[in-house]
Every structure is written in C-alpha cells, then in structure tokens.
Amino acid sequence: MRETVGLLTHGNPVNVTDTIHGFQGHNVDISNIMQMFLNQTAELENLSLQAENDRSTFQLLLNKTKELEIFKRQAENDRTTIQTLQNRVFFLEAELNKLNVSKLPSSQEFSTYLKSINQLTQSLAANDANDKNISERLNDAVQVLDDLKLKDMSSTQLLLNQSVELEQQSAKDRYSIHLLQNETQRLVRNLDDLKVQVRYTSLSLLDVHSMTEELNGSLIQRLEERISDVHDYIASVSKKVGFTASASSSSSSWNSGTLVFPVVITNIGNGYNPSNGIFSAPVAGEYVFFVNVQGYSTQEIYVDIMLNGVGKVRTMVYNGGSEISDAGPNLVVLSLSKEDRVWVAHFRGQGYNEYGHLTTFSGFLI
C-alpha cells in the first residue's frame, strides 16, 4: 500500500500577516486554498481507490477462506470415514478372533481385503497431507487476512486523521474567507464613501467652475470697460486739438492775402502751420475759432475767418479818425471734416499793430 505524502496530513502552511488587523493568519490567498483543496481531494480519491482495491482483495481472500473451510470440513469428513473404516476393521478382527474360525478366508478375499485396507490407508495419508496443506494455506490466508485488516485499519485511521486535519483546515479557511468577506464589505463601504466624496467634490468643482466663470466674466467685463475707458481717454487725448498764434511784429502796409501769425504760443495736435498761417483739422469735429486784430494808428482794417476759401465771420477796426489804436475781435464755431482748412484773410483796409501778442489767431476742438 502506497504511503501518503505529508501534504494532506500536515496541511499547506500559510504564514502571512493581516495588514489591517495587525496579526497573523487573516490574509489568505484564495488561489493557494483552492489548490490545497484540489490536492487533498485527489489524495482522498487515490486513498478511496486503494481502499476499494484492498476491499476487493479482502473479499477474494474471504472467498478463498470459505473454500478452505469447505476443504477442511471435507477432510474432517474423510478422517471420520477412515476412522469408521478402521474401527470396522478392528471390529471384524475382534470378531474373527472370537469366533476362532477354522476356515481361513481365501487368498483372493484376503488380497481384496488388503487392497481395500491399503487404499484406505493411502487415502488417509493423502487426506492427511491434503489436510496439512489446507491447514497451511488456511493459516497463510488468515495471516494475509490479518495483515490486510491491520493495513485497512491503518488506512482507515490515516483517512480519519486526514479527514480531521482537512476539516480543521477547512474551518481555518472558512474563517479566513469570512475575514476576507468582511474586509471586502469594508472596502466596498469605503469605496461607496469615496464615490460620495468624489460626487460632492465634483459638485464643488462645478460650483467653483461656475463661480470662476462668473468671476472671469465679471473681470473680463470690468477689464473691457476699463480698456474702453482707456481707449476713450486715449481717443480723447488724441482728439485734443488747440492752438494760439500771434503776429511777430506790427505792419502799417499789409493789405492783402492771408494774415500769417508766425509766433506759435500753443499748437496741440500740430494742426496750425505757422509758415502760411493756415490751420488744417487733424480730426473731424466742432471747432471754435477766435481772431483779434489791433488796428495800426488811425488806419481801419477788415479781416475774415475763412473755411476752405469761404468767409464765415468778419471783424473790423474802425476808430473814426482817432489816433488811439482800436481792436477788432470775433469768434465762430465751425463743424469741420478732417483736413478742412481755416485761416484769416484780408477783406479791406490795411495795417495792424503788434505789441505783446495783441494781434492773435486761436482755435480748439470742442
């Protein structure tokens, strides 16, 4: 009978540490447990097959034992028969001696009788030998049967021990599986809590994103408004146009053309040209123009403010023969397109006086 290896008897050792509860024996590899179950199941199947074979052999020996018992009973019967014949012979001899028969049996009868006695003796010897052989075979069969009983008892005890160890290991494995199930449930609960936290975090992120978009929209709107204000400021600064210019000296004879004011006091936007006395509008808009002419001595003078060659307003100096210089101011508001031209032109009379910027020409964008 094949001996069983120690895998099933001693079990499959598992020595791992439970990282959660902090003690050994709670963290079990399911694949190792299943493999151990398969190995022990195969071991039990092999032992069951071997037990079946042993039972077949035991049954065969029982059958042989029954046959030997039959042979033994037959030998007992034969010995009884021989003993009966021997007793019969002894009885006949005693009877013959008693009778003291004068007539002896014939030689043929005596030979037949001796032959019968010899056959019975040989049969008795053969039966004794056969009985001895049967007894030896019976003893051998009984010894084999005893050995098989011992082996069967050993196998049965081994199976019982292995079944107990398997049951103990199964109990440990069931406990380990129970711990794994509890740990799995705990992990599932943690996962559900984490999903809830992720959901709340996502909602919070959506709120933050929405608030960020609103804040960005507000900031962008404010920035756009500030940029628009800056642009307006830059545009307003760029649209600031104004100038004031004065005659450089007095003249008693000027009497035609454009009155040039070569002394520039202010020229924002560089619209006024002091070399020809003409203002060119750098941007379109409404402009205010002012001219003042100081008369020379008793002379009279008339000048016009011209827009692209067309007179718009006029001023004059007329003192009626007085020797005191008089002044002739005037002002006009004009709507100009870009590059429209404005200047002061002679209309009638002559001469103008200049002392400390008395004769001037000014204009600015409103």
User: Structural domain boundaries of the chain?
Assistant: 6-196, 242-365
What confidence tens digit (pLDDT) does each residue in 11-32 have?
444 444 444 444 444 455 678 8
Tokens for 337?
Answer: 């397109």
Tokens for 49?
Answer: 């097959």
Residue 290 has a pLDDT of 98
Q: Mean pLDDT score of the chain, rounded to an integer?
A: 82
Amino acid at position 77, single letter: N
**For the purposes of burial, counting CB atoms within 10 Å of the CB of 293, is it exposed (0-12), middle (13-18) or buried (19 or more)?**
buried
Mean predicted confidence (pLDDT) in 38-48: 85
Q: Given the DSSP bridges, would you call strands 285-294 and 360-365 parallel, antiparallel or unpaired? A: antiparallel
| Residue showing tokens 């709340």 | 200
> For residues 292 and 218, which has the higher predicted lDDT (pLDDT)?
292
Helix/strand/coil for 297: coil
* Closest CA relative to residue 129, chosen from 79, 77, 55, 62: 79
Q: Given the DSSP bridges, would you call strands 285-294 and 327-336 parallel, antiparallel or unpaired? A: antiparallel
**Lowest-confidence segment of 235-239, 335-339, 349-353, 354-358 by average pLDDT:** 235-239
Distance CA 199, CA 361 (A): 77
What confidence tens digit (pLDDT) does each residue in 231-244 have?
766 665 567 999 99
62 and 152 Cβ atoms separated by less than 8 Å:
no
Q: CB-based contacts of 159: which residues, under 8 Å, 6+ apart?
A: 44, 47, 51
Structural Rg of the chain based on CA atoms: 75
Residue 238 has a pLDDT of 63
- Is residue 102 predicted with pLDDT exceeding 70? no
HSE at residue 15, side-chain half, CA atoms within 13 A, is 1
- Is residue 145 predicted with pLDDT exceeding 90? no
Residue 15 has a pLDDT of 46
241 and 269 Cβ atoms separated by less than 8 Å:
yes
Mean predicted confidence (pLDDT) in 252-258: 97
- Is residue 1 predicted with pLDDT exceeding 70? no
% of the chain surpassing 90 pLDDT: 34
> For residues 106 and 288, which has the higher predicted lDDT (pLDDT)?
288
Helix/strand/coil for 209: helix
* Closest CA relative to residue 328, chosen from 364, 361, 280, 279: 361
**Lowest-confidence segment of 114-128, 184-198, 262-276, 318-332 by average pLDDT:** 114-128
Residue 266 has a pLDDT of 97
| Architecture of the domain spanning 242-365 | Sandwich (2.60)
Residue 275 DSSP class: T
Mean predicted confidence (pLDDT) in 198-220: 83
CA 350 to chain centre: 99
- Is residue 198 predicted with pLDDT exceeding 60? yes
Q: What is the pTM of this model?
A: 0.40
% of the chain surpassing 70 pLDDT: 85
- Is residue 42 predicted with pLDDT exceeding 80? yes
The angle formed by the CA atoms of residues 331, 298 and 293, to the nearest 5 degrees, is: 20
| Total Cβ atoms within 10 A of residue 248 | 14
- Is residue 6 predicted with pLDDT exceeding 50? no
- Is residue 176 predicted with pLDDT exceeding 80? yes
Per-residue confidence at 274, pLDDT binned at 50, 70, 90?
Answer: very high
CATH code for residues 6-196: 1.10.287
Q: Count the residues in the chain.
A: 366
- Is residue 174 predicted with pLDDT exceeding 80? yes
Per-residue confidence at 48, pLDDT binned at 50, 70, 90?
Answer: confident
